[in-house]
Amino acid sequence: MNQVTFIVLGATGDLCKRKLIPAIYKLIENKKLDLFAFIGVSFDQTNTEEILQNSKKFISKIDNKLWNKLEKASYYHQLDFYNKQGYKALHDSIVNVEKKHNLNGNRIFYLATIPKHFKEITKNLNENKIISKHQSESNCSMCKHPWARIVYEKPFGSDFTSAKQINNCIKKSFHENQIYRIDHYLGKELVSNISLVRFTNRIFEPLWNNKNIESVQIILKEKIGLEGRGNFYNKYGAIKDVIQNHMLQILSLIAMEQPKKLEAKYIRNAKAKVLKNVKFKDAVLGQYKEFTKEKGVDPKSNTETFAALNLEIKNKRWAGVPFYLKTGKYLDKKDTSVHIKFKMVKCLLTKGCPTDSNYLTLKINPDQGFFLELNIKDPENINTIMPIQMNFCHSCLFGPNTPEAYEHLLLNVINGDQSAFVRSDEIEHSWKIVEQIKKGKFKLFKYEKNSSGPEQANKLNGKGIRWRS
């Protein structure tokens, strides 16, 4: 029986409104929660009705009966994260709610705030025994005593030093198996499919190395701009906002060695090993033309809104294979995808050899699926080879309603499954890669909105690149 009290710290924020309450509603709708309560916590003098109401428009279809169920189990508790005395009252509120709803005390604390608050909240939760270290146990959905798990939203720190400090602080309070560092890309259907596709299909894994793969492109293009987050983005930029987390996580899943089992411990060991061996080679950075006029952005800002990178992985499997990463704001389209380019085969034809090799493309967002590009004979032209696609479209086969990343991830926390969450060493290795890039002090190229970024990005490390998107 799944029973849990969700305590969201930062309940009046954008993340809670857009993602967390809709995810909890979906868990109720999909019958994943038998008994539950939701306690929203933040600084504002507001109330439960207002918090739930603000979230309603982010849920596609509401069933009134289910919404009533959520309303009846929802509460608001006002607290300044820095008021140490206030945590005693929070604890009392949680205990009262749990008594009222016959809950056994399983708790998820979700820190839906900026990382600046992580250490203070963690210390106070521990010192007031709201969560304590000994309550920990992994895979404890079946155990008799209650569990407590703590979720940290991304970004986890703003550089290597701050991430390390947060890790050191939270490890004093909690066991690693209580700690869930979110990277919501790991909850996306096609990202969570990467290791399954690799390791359950004989046709891929034997080819997954530098003998057969020429290069890998990981692309995360955004069509949108800052969406009111100018102040945050000015400090972070594209490298810290999406490369440090989403894109390096995808890279680590693509490049990791075969884990002993597809379980959290082994997957995270394998990913950490890859991240430790990533070497930065070259970058082209860009900034869209109107960026410095945006609200919250420094008029002299040197923050990149675009980055194209060449990385390498220093191990036997990947030696000599370039990993190209590209991301940016206000680009020509929204697209997250991975393109694996296989090496050309020796052509045995006397005429009309293929001009390109095979590609495996993973479509992550907005389309989901993958396709394999193969060469076949053109039926209409003798001696002509043409590329065709063997296509798997996820929504065509399973319908458009796959679970949202946050629903998926909250369910994983309830089930004590950490495989889609980032371990402390992975986070620290990723920040180290960011440090390598930041040392480069690259020139910033301006680009037009709705373009594919600065044209300089078509060359990295002295080599021309044909970006696949």
Ligand X SMILES: NC(=O)c1ccc[n+]([C@@H]2O[C@H](COP(=O)([O-])OP(=O)(O)OC[C@H]3O[C@@H](n4cnc5c(N)ncnc54)[C@H](OP(=O)(O)O)[C@@H]3O)[C@@H](O)[C@H]2O)c1
Q: End-to-end alpha-carbon separation of the chain, Å?
A: 45
Count of alpha carbons within 13 Å of 154, Cβ hemisphere only?
20
- Binding to ligand X by residue 15, rule CB under 6 A? yes
Which residue's CB is nearer to ligand X, number 101 or number 235?
235
> What is the C-alpha to C-alpha distance for residues 376 and 387, in angstroms, rounded to an integer?
6
Which residue's CB is nearer to ligand X, number 94 or number 103?
94
> What is the C-alpha to C-alpha distance for residues 75 and 129, in angstroms, rounded to an integer?
21
Q: Out of 49, 50, 63, 80, name the contact with ligand X by CB under 6 A.
A: 80
- Binding to ligand X by residue 371, rule CB under 6 A? no
Helix axes 21-29, 48-56, angle to 10 degrees: 80
Which residue's CB is nearer to ligand X, number 80 or number 205?
80
- Whole-number minimum distance, CB 216 to ligand X, in Å? 25
Q: Out of 4, 11, 24, 151, name the contact with ligand X by CB under 6 A.
A: 11
- Binding to ligand X by residue 365, rule CB under 6 A? no
Which residue's CB is nearer to ligand X, number 164 or number 229?
229
Q: What is the CA radius of gyration of the chain?
A: 24
> What is the C-alpha to C-alpha distance for residues 152 and 384, in angstroms, rounded to an integer?
55
Which residue's CB is nearer to ligand X, number 121 or number 460?
121
Strand partners, 337: 219, 363
Q: Out of 19, 107, 149, 329, name the contact with ligand X by CB under 6 A.
A: 19
Residue of closest CB approach to ligand X: 13
- Binding to ligand X by residue 230, rule CB under 6 A? no
- Binding to ligand X by residue 112, rule CB under 6 A? yes
- Binding part of the chain for ligand X, among 13-21, 84-92, 196-204, 315-323 by CB under 6 A, reads 13-21
Q: Which one of the listed residues 77, 184, 246, 408 is annotated catalytic?
A: 246
From 225, 279, 223, 224, select the one nearest 251 (Cα to Cα). Answer: 279
Count of residues touching ligand X (by CB under 6 A):
21
> What is the C-alpha to C-alpha distance for residues 7 and 98, in angstroms, rounded to an integer?
11
> Binding string to ligand X for residues 35 to 74, with x set by CB under 6 A, is what?
-------xxx------------------------------
- Sign of the dihedral through C-alpha 193, 199, 258, 217: negative
Task: Decide: 272 and 425 in contact? Cβ < 8 Å.
Answer: yes
Q: Out of 4, 6, 7, 13, name the contact with ligand X by CB under 6 A.
A: 13
Q: Out of 114, 345, 388, 393, name the contact with ligand X by CB under 6 A.
A: 114
* Residue 446: count of CB within 10 angstroms of its CB: 12
> What is the C-alpha to C-alpha distance for residues 29 and 400, in angstroms, rounded to an integer?
16
> Can 339 be counted among the known catalytic residues?
no
- Binding to ligand X by residue 109, rule CB under 6 A? no
> Binding string to ligand X for residues 296 to 335, with x set by CB under 6 A, is what?
----------------------------------------
- Binding part of the chain for ligand X, among 4-12, 69-77, 186-194, 279-287 by CB under 6 A, reads 4-12
Q: Out of 3, 55, 106, 113, name the contact with ligand X by CB under 6 A.
A: 113
- What residue type is 355 in one-letter code? T
From 236, 238, 203, select the one nearest 219 (Cα to Cα). Answer: 238
> What is the C-alpha to C-alpha distance for residues 216 and 340, in angstroms, rounded to an integer?
5
- Binding to ligand X by residue 219, rule CB under 6 A? no
CA 242 and chain centroid, separation: 8
Which residue's CB is nearer to ligand X, number 19 or number 429?
19
Give the CA distances from residue 438 to residues 110, 230, 447, 463, in Å, rounded to whole numbers and listed in that order.
31, 21, 20, 21
Which residue's CB is nearer to ligand X, number 112 or number 297?
112
Which residues, at least 6 apart from 26, have a Cβ–Cβ distance to it below 8 Å?
59, 403, 404, 407
Which residue's CB is nearer to ligand X, number 42 or number 337?
42
Q: Out of 75, 81, 324, 431, name the contact with ligand X by CB under 6 A.
A: 81
- Whole-number minimum distance, CB 116 to ligand X, in Å? 9
> What is the C-alpha to C-alpha distance for residues 155 and 174, in angstroms, rounded to an integer?
19
- Binding to ligand X by residue 76, rule CB under 6 A? no
- Binding to ligand X by residue 154, rule CB under 6 A? yes
- For binding to ligand X (CB under 6 A), which residues are involved? 10-15, 18-19, 42-44, 79-82, 112-114, 153-155
Active site positions, annotated: 246
